[in-house]
Amino acid sequence: MLSMLIACLATSVYAFSRFNIGNDASGNPLTCAGAAMSEQIKKTVRGENLEVPVSIIARYPFVETFVKNMSDFHTICAVVLMILIFVQMFRPYGSSPNKAEAKAHVIIGKIVSYGIAPHYVLIGCVLNYYAIMLPLEDWKLAPPASEWRLHIAYIIPFALNILVSMVQGFYLMRKPMFSSKTMAMVMKYISLCSCMFWLVFGNYMCGAQALGYLGAFGLGIEKVVPGAPSDQKTADMIQGFFQPINVIVLMVGNCQAGQDYINYKCGEHVQRAGLNDLSWKDMHKWSMINLSYQAGVIFGLFVGFFPYCVVFEEYGFPEWTCVQHPVFTAPFIMLFLLPIMQHIGWTMKFIPAVCGDAAKIRAFSKNTHKWDVPQVGSLAGTVAETLTKPLLEAEKKAMKQRRSTSPGAKGSKKAS
């Protein structure tokens, strides 16, 4: 309710959307890419322009069909992921005493870990590359809700954070390839790189834009601002649209850096002591909460920024249904964060424990180690154990037979 109130107050003083940031010299409304709003742009955003396909939710222009198809696949996976997150978070977990409920939790988790996680981050990174490299002029075809600076400053560490969360939540010390302290060290340093990237580049690029500057390392407006405007007035109008977005991203990004640090501490505990201190269950739970938070924020943001007034214009959707201020996406974000609200209490206890010394996290996880799996150290260890297991069993069987047929064993039987 509070987020909705803030959104309404913000929109009452901020009266334009990405389709109307103000008027040009002729009085025509401009998009946030500096193009005069037209029926052709509306057709493109609605997906009626076959020459310029657009993404499903964000409605970004993708001139290359390959990128469009990859984007659609990634979006469908994101929708499935959000549905599964809601299902998993609101139903009994794998620790449920009911075996059927626990098994269902594990099955759904395997769908995510095998069906979505392996390619999700990889495809996201490829799409992020295309979003960064998209020519500034192309944004005039369909005005963006975000642009290349945000994709560098926020989405790069976002992708690294998601990668670590998926590995620590599904695979680390659980799957043979990831059952080593070396892999924990790799995840630890990826988290450190993600955190430092945001603190340096993210804070500069988003912070500068939040204060009204370009945040582009000294590049000129024609190389920075979507639509490549040549005049300062248009550039200022466009940058005025992205300024409040960067205020929000600045806050969310620094929160993400804190999440990177918690991931770093998880990796540090596992590298040092395996699962002797931090249990797999607690590491898995934190990773899923982190993943759910990240998915909820980014999914809610894009659903909130969906151009309803243009796509559903024929159904009479009014102009205000195209977000007129990024704060108005808050209700959407809060909706998709509902699954993790119930875990706020646990999270507030876990954070000081995992960020503390070994004794604190050991005490926190002392009752949850029964979900740890026996560790063999590496894939090679698993192979060696599998190959030698029949030999060990045959040796034990032969030893048992020798004992039963030995004279001493027969004499003891007669004596008894």
Q: Render the burial of 126-158: b for 16+ CB within 10 Å, e for the rest.
A: ebbebbeebebebbbbbbbbbbbbbbbbbbbbb
Cβ-Cβ contacts under 8 Å for 144 (sequence gap 6 or more): 18, 32, 33, 58, 60, 226
Q: How many CB atoms lie within 10 A of CB 69?
A: 12
35-47: average pLDDT: 94
CA distance linking residue 342 with residue 313, whole number of Å: 38
Give residue 1's pLDDT: 43
pLDDT above 70 (res 341): yes
381 band by pLDDT with thresholds 50, 70 and 90: very low
Give me the mean pLDDT over the 98-109 stretch.
90
pLDDT of residue 8: 46
Residues in the chain: 416
The token pair at 209 is 């834009």
The answer on pLDDT for 409 being more than 80 is no
pLDDT at 7 over 60: no
Q: What pLDDT, on the 0 to 100 scale, is given for residue 56? A: 92
Please write the tens of the pLDDT for every residue from 266-297: 999 999 999 999 999 999 999 999 999 999 99
Determine the average pLDDT of the residues in 258-268: 97
Confidence check: pLDDT of 23 > 60: yes
pLDDT over threshold 80, residue 22? yes
Distance CA 395, CA 93 (A): 41
**Distance between CA atoms of 340 and 90, rounded to whole angstroms?**
9
| Cβ(108)–Cβ(88) below 8 Å | yes
Q: What is the pLDDT of residues 118-132, one digit of tens each?
A: 899 899 999 999 999
Contact in structure between 19 and 29 (CB atoms under 8 Å): yes
For the chain, the structural domain boundaries read 2-379, 380-416
pTM of the model: 0.85
Q: Which residues pair with 36 in a beta bridge?
A: 30
- Quote the CA–CA distance of 299 and 85 in Å, as a whole number: 12
Please name the residues in contact with 51: beta carbons below 8 A apart, sequence gap of 6 or more: 63
Q: What mean pLDDT, rounded, does the chain reach?
A: 87
Higher pLDDT, 395 or 273: 273
Q: Output the pLDDT for position 390.
A: 65
CA distances from 281 to 162, 275, 292, 362, 397 (A): 18, 10, 16, 13, 37
Residue 346 reports pLDDT greater than 70:
yes
Q: Is the pLDDT of residue 385 over 80?
A: no
The pLDDT score that the predictor gives to residue 239 is 92
Q: Would you state the pLDDT for residue 15?
A: 52
